[in-house]
Each structure stands twice: as C-alpha cells, then as structure tokens.
Chains A and B, each alone.
Chain A
Amino acid sequence: KAGVTQTPRYLIKTRGQQVTLSCSPISGHRSVSWYQQTPGQGLQFLFEYFSETQRNKGNFPGRFSGRQFSNSRSEMNVSTLELGDSALYLCASSLTTSGNTGELFFGEGSRLTVL
C-alpha cells in the first residue's frame, strides 16, 4: 500500500513568489492535514481537509491556503513568500479527522527555501 506522497521534495523560491505543494494521501484516507516545521517552533498546524471541506485552520496568515480534491489529493499554496516561510512542510493523512484516535500517516515533506 503506497504511503503519503508529497511533491516536490525540495524547492527554492525567492521572496515575493508563490509556491504550490501537493500531497497524495494513502488510498482510502479522506483526511489530509498540513503542518509547518521549523527548527525553533516544531510542528505547527496549518489546516485540515476532510471530504473536500476545510475542517480546521491554524493561526497562519491568509497567504497560506489549501484545497482538497474529490480524489482526496490536497494542495497548499503560499503566496508572497517571505524569508520566514522557509521550512519543512508536512502533510499527513488519516481515515477520519485528525482529532480522533485514528493514526496519522505523514509524508516525507517538502522542504522550501526562500531566498
């Protein structure tokens, strides 16, 4: 059974640009959540989608957005990139919403560097 796939794995952008990251969950999983991980802050919750609907949102500015498609694949977009957006962006999928006891399966992440 294929795991969670995130693309691209690495990317470099410059300030002011925008970026789109993609996440394909495990087959059959309907929940996809996104996290930003930086050395100083640890993992921080961005948002969660379940059956194409955003179920919850963390405390990030509106430059961070996402969506989920009917096949459960999800994308997140960051516009007007800032240096502080450099981070590892992780996607996780689960059968049910992340707050339940269902296990979260993480992808390998997309490492974004903003110059």
Chain B
Amino acid sequence: KNQVEQSPQSLIILEGKNCTLQCNYTVSPFSNLRWYKQDTGRGPVSLTIMTFSENTKSNGRYTATLDADTKQSSLHITASQLSDSASYICVVSPKTGANNLFFGTGTRLTVIP
C-alpha cells in the first residue's frame, strides 16, 4: 500500500534554532518527492521538488534531502524564524502511469521567540 508518513506530528522550537522534519514513504516506483509549506488558513506553497536521482535540494534556509534506497526524505530548516511557523507537508508522486499524489499528514512547526 502506498503511504507517506511524517514525523514528528508537531514540533516547537526557539527562534534561531535549526530543526529537521522527516518523511518516510512506501510509494514505489516513485517519480518525485515534494515538500510544501502551509500557513494556517492558506494554501500550500512549494518549497522543493526532487526526482529520484537527486539527493539534496535547497531553497534559502530550507534544505531537503532524499535517500531513494531507504525511501526517506528530510527537510532541514536553518536559523528558524517566527514566519517558519506552519505545517510542512511531504508529497510523493508515483512514476508515470498514475497521476495520484500521496500526501503525508504534515508536521506542525511552531517557532517561539
């Protein structure tokens, strides 16, 4: 069964600290993995998209890594800011032939001053 699991469910960190969010998936074969940031009451916004051949991609203070062998991805946030408070959603796309996307339930990050 194709699944995407994220951990932790929620996380509270102090402003300026780093944190890492995890995503494990069983989708196979897989085409790409995406991380989205969703502010409360808003639509998700794309942070990174990685194909199976990429193992790291950065977007400012956000760095995503991918290990296609172990089917794990992580999102590392450096020097967190209050505006990083949001839900972070991992999304996995199967390889060609199916257009379903598989969504994780997200990690709720709260950055406190």
Which of chain B's residues 62-113 have a Cβ closer than 8 Å to chain A?
Answer: 89, 91, 93-94, 96, 98-101, 103-106
Docked-complex contact B101 and A98, CB < 8 angstroms: yes
Contact sample, A vs B, 6 pairs, CB 8 Å cutoff: A42-B89, A55-B99, A90-B43, A97-B99, A99-B96, A99-B100
Residues of A within 8 A of B18 (CB): none
How extensive is the interface on chain B, given as a class? Answer: 20 to 34
Docked-complex contact B42 and A108, CB < 8 angstroms: yes
B46 within 8 A of A: yes
| B3 CB to nearest chain A CB (Å) | 12
B: residues with CB less than 8 A from A are 31-32, 34, 36, 41-46, 49, 51, 89, 91, 93-94, 96, 98-101, 103-106
Listed residue (A35, A43, A92, A107) with the most chain B CB atoms within 10 angstroms of its CB: A43
A26 within 8 A of B: no
Docked-complex contact A99 and B98, CB < 8 angstroms: yes
Docked-complex contact A99 and B89, CB < 8 angstroms: no
Q: CA separation between A41 and B94, bound complex, in Å?
A: 20
| B34 CB to nearest chain A CB (Å) | 8
Q: Which of A56, A105, A111 contacts B100 (CB 8 A)?
A: A56
Docked-complex contact A42 and B100, CB < 8 angstroms: no
Listed residue (A98, A99, A103) with the most chain B CB atoms within 10 angstroms of its CB: A99
Which residue on chain B has the smallest CB distance to residue A31? B99
